[in-house]
């Protein structure tokens, strides 16, 4: 097998000509995306660029108008959302901390139940569910929430809720983790904590994230795809993309300077 073939094997997710039209408005326009295994890949762009629509196409919350989606080389364009999840593509923050009145530990345990096919068998005895506790606690430790295990989820600070959402996503053993604006609405301290957490859980995993905060993207993304008006404007590492005149123009209406990671 030549090096070219080996490189192709490295692509975990690929879109070919992915397009979504809403009554004549093209929200996602002929997007060709390649996400490499083991990378943190960020999808960025100004408001209305089509980032979230693109995410919704990947998880089949929306059907595409045309184009195809491949996961591990297999065409998954016609898969149902549940099939997508079973293949190992798990989108965080759609499954959120859905049960605010359960404890942090119980929420992670539900994620583990989903992964084992015991899904939502709340009538199962506490004894059976308790078998999942060591695994659940280990996941909470990964996201620095072990001391909050018995806290009611609704009482968690906002940034910690996001950490819990990452833990419940990890519980489902994703091969590809999709994070939708993971730092949205956070104060500086929470942004830093969650950014460090994504970097940490990204080690040895593949993450595709939509993110608006340039500081986050510049510090953890291996590859950045910039969308503008639904189409790919630029792609590459932050150092290249942030100096691209077309990206400057799309974001700031000027081609002077570079995108400021730390201050965005």
% pLDDT > 90, the chain: 57
Which carries the bigger pLDDT value, residue 234 or residue 256?
Answer: 234
User: Over 80: is that where the pLDDT of 72 sits?
Assistant: yes
User: Over 50: is that where the pLDDT of 262 sits?
Assistant: no
106: number of Cβ within 10 Å: 18
Long-range contacts, 62-65 (Cβ 8 Å, 24+): 62/20, 64/18, 64/19, 64/20, 64/28, 65/19, 65/20, 65/21
Length of the chain: 264
Q: Determine contact, residues 143/197, Cβ cutoff 8 Å.
A: yes
Which carries the bigger pLDDT value, residue 191 or residue 120?
Answer: 191
Total-model pTM: 0.86
Tokens read off for 35: 């996400």
Tens digits of residue pLDDT in 126-179: 677 788 899 999 999 999 999 999 999 999 988 898 899 999 989 888 999 999
Q: Binning pLDDT at 50, 70 and 90, where does residue 64 land?
A: very high
Q: Give the three-class secondary structure for 46.
A: coil
For residue 98, report the phi and psi dihedrals to the nearest 5 degrees.
Answer: -70, -15
Question: Exposed/middle/buried for 65, CB within 10 Å: 0-12, 13-18, 19+?
Answer: middle
User: Over 70: is that where the pLDDT of 226 sits?
Assistant: yes
Q: Give the three-class secondary structure for 255.
A: coil
167: number of Cβ within 10 Å: 27
Which CATH superfamily groups domain 1-77+180-190+209-264? P-loop containing nucleotide triphosphate hydrolases (3.40.50.300)
User: Over 80: is that where the pLDDT of 96 sits?
Assistant: no
Residue-level pLDDT at 218: 93
Residue-level pLDDT at 2: 45
Where b means 16+ CB within 10 Å and e means fewer, 223-244 reads bbbbbbebbbbbbeebeebbeb
Tens digits of residue pLDDT in 175-203: 999 998 888 888 888 999 999 999 999 98
Residue 189 to residues 55, 100, 180: CA-CA distances in angstroms? 27, 23, 19
């Amino acid at each position: 097998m030549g090096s070219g073939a080996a490189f192709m094997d490295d692509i975990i997710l690929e879109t070919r000509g992915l397009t979504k039209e809403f009554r004549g408005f093209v929200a996602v326009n002929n997007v060709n995306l390649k996400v490499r295994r083991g990378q943190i890949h960020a999808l960025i762009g100004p408001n209305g660029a089509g980032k979230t629509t693109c995410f919704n196409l990947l998880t089949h919350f929306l059907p595409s108008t045309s184009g195809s989606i491949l996961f591990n080389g297999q065409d998954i364009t016609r898969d149902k959302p549940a099939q997508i999840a079973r293949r190992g593509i798990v989108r965080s923050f759609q499954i959120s901390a859905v049960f605010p009145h359960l404890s942090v530990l119980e929420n992670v345990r539900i994620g583990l139940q989903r992964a084992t096919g015991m899904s939502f068998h709340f009538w199962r005895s506490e004894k059976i569910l308790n078998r999942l506790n060591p695994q659940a606690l280990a996941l909470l430790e990964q996201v620095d929430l072990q001391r909050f295990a018995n806290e009611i989820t609704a009482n968690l600070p906002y940034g910690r809720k996001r950490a819990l959402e990452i833990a419940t996503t990890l519980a489902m053993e994703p091969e590809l983790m999709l994070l939708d604006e993971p730092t949205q609405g956070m104060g500086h301290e929470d942004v830093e904590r969650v950014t460090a957490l994504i970097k940490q859980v990204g080690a040895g995993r593949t993450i595709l994230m939509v993110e608006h905060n340039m500081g986050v993207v510049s510090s953890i993304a291996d590859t950045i795809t910039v969308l503008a008006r639904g189409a790919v404007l630029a792609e590459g590492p932050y150092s290249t993309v942030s100096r691209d005149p077309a990206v400057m123009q799309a974001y700031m209406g000027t081609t002077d300077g570079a995108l400021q990671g730390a201050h965005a």
